[in-house]
C-alpha cells in the first residue's frame, strides 16, 4: 500500500488528463515540481554523496540539501572536494566530509556507511556508475537483498498524460526471466511509493503476438502468467506490447488489442538495456522529456545522476529516494502496530 501522504501525487499529476493521446503539451518538469512539493512534508534523508569531486555533482548535493530532501555526507578525497566547492562557490563549513584517498575507496566507504545504517541512501558523484555499483552488488560486503537490483527512469514526458517509468535501462544488460520478474517488482514498489496504487505495466517487444523467434515475447507472456499466479503482485501486467500500443490507445484499438494497460501504461519494461537506453534518450532528446533515475532492490536506494541531467531531474531523483525511505519506515511502523 502506498503511504497516505504520497497517495495524491499520481492523481494530481494526471488530473484533467483523460488519456495518453491528449495532444496538449504539458510544461516540462511540472510533474517533478509536484513531486518535490509532496516530499517537503518529510524530514531529509542522510545521503552519502560518492566522490563529489566536480562542481556539478557537488552543486547537485547542495541544491538537494537546500530543498530539504537530503542531509549530504560527502565521501571522497578532501582536497578534491574542497577544490570542487571553490569552483562551485559552495560553503562546506557545516557539511560532514569523510576523507578517503580516491573514487574506488569512496564507493567502498559509502557502501560501508549504508551497511552500518549511518546513511539512508547513496548518490553518485563524479565517478563512473560501474565503479559505484561494484561494491554495492558485492556478495560479501555489499547492499544486496533477495531481489535483483535494477534501475528505473522516472520520466516527465511533455506529451504523455502522466509520469512514465522505464526499466531497466542502466543496470541489467540482458536480463533473464527471473531478473525481469525482480525488475517489475522493484518498479511496482517505486510506483506504490509515489502514490500509484495499481500501476499498469506494459512489457515491451517489437510485436504484440508471442513468437518463438523473438524470446522477448515469450518472456512477456511468461511474466503475465506469473502475475496470474501471484508471483508478481501489486500491478496489472500485459505483454508483449509494442511501444505504440503501450502508450497509445488509438494504436491499440487499430490492432484490436483489448487491454487495461494498452494506451495507458505507467511502467514500460524493456527487453534489454540497449533498447531501454535508446528509448529513454530518444524521449529526452526528441520529445523534451526529463529523466530522473534510481536503483532499487538494494538495502537502500542508489541515486544515479548524469552530467546531462537538468536541475529538476536531479532534485526529483532525490525526492524519489526520500519517499522510498519514508515509505519503508511507514510500512515497518504499520507492521509493529
The class that CATH gives domain 1-41+145-297+306-337 is alpha beta
Range list for CATH 3.40.50.10950 in the chain: 44-144
| pLDDT tens digits for range 258-302 | 999 999 999 999 999 999 999 999 999 999 998 999 999 999 999
| pLDDT tens digits for range 166-223 | 999 999 999 999 999 999 999 999 999 888 999 999 999 999 999 999 999 999 999 9
Q: In terms of Cα–Cα distance, which of 45, 57, 46 is closest to 128?
A: 57
Q: What is residue 149's DSSP assignment?
A: P
Question: If you search the block for the grid coordinates 562557490, which residue do you land on?
Answer: 89
Q: Is the dihedral of CA 322, 134, 149, 59 positive or negative?
A: positive
Counting Cβ atoms within 10 Å, is residue 240 exposed (0-12), middle (13-18) or buried (19+)? Answer: buried
Pick the CATH number of 44-144 from 3.10.129.10, 3.40.50.10950, 1.10.3720.10, 3.40.50.1000: 3.40.50.10950
Distance CA(330)–CA(231), nearest Å, equals 24
pLDDT at 334 over 50: no
Distance CA(215)–CA(205), nearest Å, equals 9
| pLDDT tens digits for range 102-117 | 999 999 999 999 999 9
Q: Is the whole model's pTM more than 0.85, yes or no?
A: yes
Range list for CATH 3.40.718.10 in the chain: 1-41+145-297+306-337
Residue 24, φ and ψ in degrees, nearest 5: -65, 140
Distance CA(181)–CA(165), nearest Å, equals 16
C-alpha cell at position 169: 535501462
Amino acid at each position: 500500500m502506498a503511504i497516505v501522504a504520497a497517495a495524491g501525487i499520481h492523481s494530481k499529476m494526471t488530473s484533467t488528463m483523460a488519456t495518453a493521446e491528449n495532444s496538449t503539451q504539458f510544461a516540462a518538469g511540472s510533474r517533478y515540481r509536484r513531486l518535490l512539493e509532496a516530499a517537503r512534508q518529510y524530514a531529509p534523508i542522510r545521503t552519502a554523496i560518492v566522490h563529489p569531486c566536480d562542481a556539478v555533482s557537488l552543486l547537485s548535493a547542495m541544491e538537494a540539501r537546500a530543498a530539504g530532501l537530503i542531509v549530504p555526507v560527502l565521501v571522497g578525497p578532501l582536497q578534491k572536494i574542497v577544490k570542487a566547492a571553490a569552483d562551485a562557490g559552495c560553503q562546506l563549513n557545516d557539511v560532514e566530509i569523510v576523507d578517503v584517498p580516491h573514487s574506488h575507496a569512496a564507493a567502498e566507504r559509502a557502501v560501508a556507511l549504508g551497511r552500518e545504517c549511518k546513511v539512508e541512501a547513496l548518490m553518485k558523484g563524479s565517478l563512473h556508475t560501474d565503479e559505484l555499483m561494484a561494491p554495492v552488488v558485492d556478495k560479501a560486503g555489499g547492499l544486496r537483498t533477495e531481489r535483483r537490483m535494477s534501475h528505473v527512469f522516472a520520466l516527465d514526458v511533455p506529451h504523455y498524460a502522466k509520469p512514465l517509468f522505464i526499466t531497466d535501462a542502466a543496470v541489467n544488460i540482458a536480463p533473464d526471466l527471473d531478473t525481469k520478474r525482480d525488475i517489475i517488482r522493484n518498479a511496482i514498489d517505486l510506483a506504490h511509493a509515489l502514490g500509484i496504487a495499481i500501476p499498469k505495466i506494459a512489457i515491451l517487444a517489437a510485436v504484440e503476438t508471442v513468437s518463438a523467434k523473438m524470446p522477448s515475447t515469450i518472456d512477456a507472456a511468461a511474466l503475465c502468467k506469473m502475475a496470474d499466479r501471484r508471483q508478481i503482485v501489486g500491478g496489472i501486467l500485459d505483454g508483449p506490447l509494442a511501444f505504440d500500443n503501450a502508450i497509445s490507445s488509438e494504436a491499440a484499438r487499430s490492432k484490436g488489442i483489448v487491454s487495461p494497460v494498452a494506451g495507458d501504461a505507467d511502467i514500460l519494461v524493456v527487453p534489454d538495456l540497449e533498447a531501454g537506453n535508446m528509448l529513454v534518450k530518444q524521449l529526452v532528446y526528441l520529445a523534451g522529456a526529463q529523466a530522473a533515475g534510481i536503483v532499487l532492490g538494494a538495502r537502500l536506494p542508489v541515486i544515479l545522476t548524469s552530467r546531462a541531467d537538468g536541475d529538476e531531474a536531479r532534485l526529483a531523483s532525490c525526492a524519489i529516494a526520500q519517499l522510498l525511505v519514508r515509505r519503508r519506515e511507514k510500512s515497518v511502523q504499520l507492521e509493529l502496530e
